[in-house]
Amino acid sequence: MLRSRTSSGLELYSTSCDDEETRQLSSSNELHCPNCDNLVMYKNGPKTIAHFAHRPHTECVVSDYERETVDHLKGKNILFSWLTSKFPEATVELEVFIQKTDQIADVLLVHNLGEMKGQKWAFEFQHSPLSEVEWKRRHNLYRQAGILDFWIFDANVFLQYSKARNVDQARLFRDPIKAVYSETGFTYFLDLESRNMTIDCKFYVRSIERKVNNRRGTVDNEYTFHDPNDHMEILDHVEFRCDIEEQYAALVIPKIKDQFDLTFMNRIQKIKSDKHRELVEKRRYRLNEIFVYCSKHYSRRHAYVLNTFCYKNKALVVDDILNLEIPDFIDKYRTYMESILQYLGEVELIRESEDFVDKVVADQAPDYLYYIDLNEEQIDSPYYIQIGEIYEREFLVKVPSLTVLLYERYANEVKNVQYVLHKYSSELEKLLSRNPAILDRDLRNIDHRLVRVGPKERSLLELALGYAKCSSTEEIDELMKRIRTDIIEYDPFSNLRD
């Protein structure tokens, strides 16, 4: 490690501390690991970079601590120096233990000013082998802690090229490079000797014809190349591109700007999409918790009604679903829930009534009682638009009684049915005496609205309800005129007699 703390609390960096004084502190057991507080000793010599190491039998208690190589120490120091120079207003620290992730960041940068104030960036220099599974685990821990992680790979270890003859610059990928590129859109490689940074941002695959074992036959092999071929720059010339809204940043150099811009934009869109998807999943999970609670403490019908209300009024409840405790959430929207239940109670009374007007209204109105558990897709579907209206906040505020609204809405239908029953009862009697299947066929030929859908009990009222949607009594008269001619008075043998 490159950082330690004295017994008095003073932080020391091995790359900048006084060698003689630090050796004395080490000999006096005055140096401690800043993460686990165990004793460490100072090491510096011709074959190693100055650093601190845990004393024998005092391993670091941090779970992912491992012994470091000289190259790892050197890589961390290069990144630390570069970032300190790059962001003089930020707090840049070496080897910081992050409790939320239970891991030590090689370098942790915290922005103190501007639009990025408070943002944390973790930089990991990777020299040793790292599996895809382990990288994903550590990457996800950083994400969950709200820290943007940059993984800088040792170019001498991880930046690999194909050794195939006559194939230049074709890339090979070892773990976890493919996973990092796929997840973040970029991969970074640092050469410790030259301090050159190579940035991957766009690849393409090309087939190359090759001879098989020096024989006359050939085979096409696919190789992966980077676009552009030159995507390396001295570390001091590497810049950061930031998206303030999404709190995301990536490394860029001028020579890959065009390819970088497209990848960066796609990455921002993916971040937004992932955030939206995660938020939707959280809300769905929370809604299910609310449903279960409401079912237990109120009733199943209360739970269905509140659930459908939430789907219908997303903009109204979207923040409260996650931010309020469940009892508080239910209390806040209880008035709307009770109003909907009142509507459903009114519908039940109408459906149970023997009153003529209620029977017509019950037949013409949507089946509100059957569809109380509409899902998120159904509630906004045109097919369920009328059923969904009773769950809409504006409707609930404006309409104190659903019964009154339904009477007004279906007044014309009631009038039409009354008109048919009063004026054409004898015609309906004659139609009622006919074979139902043949009658439906003949009525459908005249006007499809006259044929009732679904299993219905045959009655004068049932036949009269087929005329409910007519636009006027004149239209009803015209339909009845055709029914007399084409059905009631129709004589199939008239042509023979003539």
Beta strands 147-154 and 120-126 are: parallel
pLDDT, mean of residues 330-352 = 97
If one compares 200 and 491, the residue with the highest pLDDT of the two is: 200
If one compares 48 and 342, the residue with the highest pLDDT of the two is: 342
Classify 124 as helix, strand or coil: strand
Place of tokens 């008095």: 8
| CA-based torsion, 288, 292, 293, 295: positive or negative | positive
Distance CA 397, CA 394 (A): 5
Over its C-alpha atoms, the chain yields an Rg (Å, rounded) of 38
139-149 confidence digits (pLDDT tens): 999 999 999 99
- The closest of 466, 464, 446 to 454, measured between CA atoms, is 466
Question: Which residue stretches of 353-493 are H helix?
Answer: 356-364, 385-388, 393-398, 402-409, 411-423, 425-432, 436-446, 460-464, 473-483
Residue 96 CB coordination number (10 Å): 20
**In residues, how long is the chain?**
498
Classify 208 as helix, strand or coil: strand
240-263 confidence digits (pLDDT tens): 999 999 999 999 999 999 999 999
Task: Determine the residue type at 215.
Answer: R
Residues pairing with 151 in the sheet: 124
Distance CA 130, CA 136 (A): 10
Contact in structure between 205 and 196 (CB atoms under 8 Å) = no
Distance CA 226, CA 181 (A): 12
Classify 335 as helix, strand or coil: helix
- The closest of 78, 64, 101 to 188, measured between CA atoms, is 78
Q: What is the pLDDT of residue 219?
A: 64
- Residues contacting 135, CB < 8 A, separation 6+: 151, 175, 176, 179, 180
13-47 confidence digits (pLDDT tens): 877 777 878 888 878 787 888 777 788 888 887 77
What are the residue boundaries of the structural domains of the chain, listed by start?
Answer: 62-252, 269-409, 411-498
Place of tokens 């010339």: 237
Q: What is the pLDDT of residue 10?
A: 82
Residues pairing with 94 in the sheet: 107
Contact in structure between 154 and 127 (CB atoms under 8 Å) = yes
C-alpha 255 chain-centroid distance: 34
Greatest Cα pair distance, the chain, in angstroms, is: 132
In the numeric block, which tokens belong to residue 472? 């006027």
Contact in structure between 475 and 418 (CB atoms under 8 Å) = no
pLDDT, mean of residues 116-142 = 95
Distance CA 384, CA 387 (A): 5
- The closest of 362, 360, 364, 333 to 346, measured between CA atoms, is 362
148-196 confidence digits (pLDDT tens): 999 999 999 999 999 888 888 999 999 999 999 999 999 999 999 999 9
- Residues contacting 208, CB < 8 A, separation 6+: 166, 167, 220, 221, 222, 223
Task: Determine the residue type at 404.
Answer: V
Q: What is the pLDDT of residue 64?
A: 56
Beta strands 120-126 and 171-172 are: unpaired
438-453 confidence digits (pLDDT tens): 999 999 999 999 998 7
| CA-based torsion, 254, 256, 262, 266: positive or negative | negative
Distance CA 304, CA 387 (A): 14
Q: What are the DSSP calls for 137-174, one per residue?
A: HHHHHHHHTTEEEEEEEEHHHH-EE---TT--S-EE--
Of the pLDDT bands very low, low, confident and very high (cuts 50, 70, 90), residue 66 is low
The gap between the terminal CA atoms of the chain, to the nearest Å, is: 115
Residue 31 vs residues 4, 61, 98, 107, 328: alpha-carbon distances, Å: 6, 16, 21, 20, 53
Distance CA 42, CA 410 (A): 90
Of the pLDDT bands very low, low, confident and very high (cuts 50, 70, 90), residue 62 is low
Burial class from Cβ neighbours inside 10 Å (0-12, 13-18, 19+) for residue 162 reads middle
